[in-house]
Amino acid sequence: MDWNLFSFPPAKEPKHLNPLVLAYIGDAIYEVFIRQYMISLTNHRPHHLHKQSSTFVSARAQSKALTQWLPLLTEEEIDMVKRGRNAKSGSVPRNADVLEYRHSTAFECLIGYLYYQKEYERLQTLMMMTVTGGS
């Protein structure tokens, strides 16, 4: 049985979803991943958890992680990154420049795509690189 914690599949095939929709779910998936990672460490003070998590989930950190991933991505994954990068969201947060924000959106888009494609092992491999520094 193909069991999934969340039993609401997308209304369309992942490749047909709007890249901003994929980024929307990708943001949530990555946030949970980082929170679980932080809780696996020893310091559980809420302020510390939030502050340390922010070093991974910021637009700058996600943009940097995407740059690290690029040489390892398949053509299909690169196409999804391009779709995410080129998606027009309408606004850019104050604390990120436009390029970082677009790369961050591309990063989240790829995570959402891999999640909905049920490519969990691949997703785990890539996301682990963000907390291990690429090793």
Task: State the total domains in the chain.
Answer: 1
What integer pLDDT is reported at residue 2 of this predicted model?
57
What integer pLDDT is reported at residue 133 of this predicted model?
80
User: Phi and psi for 98 in degrees, rounded to 5?
Assistant: -60, -45
What integer pLDDT is reported at residue 1 of this predicted model?
47
Question: Is residue 6 situated within a structural domain?
Answer: no
Q: Is 27 a catalytic residue?
A: yes
Question: Is residue 116 situated within a structural domain?
Answer: yes
Question: Is residue 134 situated within a structural domain?
Answer: no
Catalytic annotation, pick one of 2, 27, 79, 97: 27
What integer pLDDT is reported at residue 34 of this predicted model?
96
Question: Is residue 4 situated within a structural domain?
Answer: no
pLDDT digit of tens for each residue in the chain (135 aa)? 455 667 788 999 999 999 999 999 999 999 999 999 999 998 889 888 989 999 999 999 999 999 999 999 999 999 999 999 999 877 777 777 889 999 999 999 999 999 999 999 999 999 999 999 865
Question: Which domain, by its residues, includes 109?
Answer: 15-129
* CATH value at residue 31: 1.10.1520.10
What integer pLDDT is reported at residue 88 of this predicted model?
84
119-125 long-range contacts (CB < 8 A, ≥24 apart) are 123/29
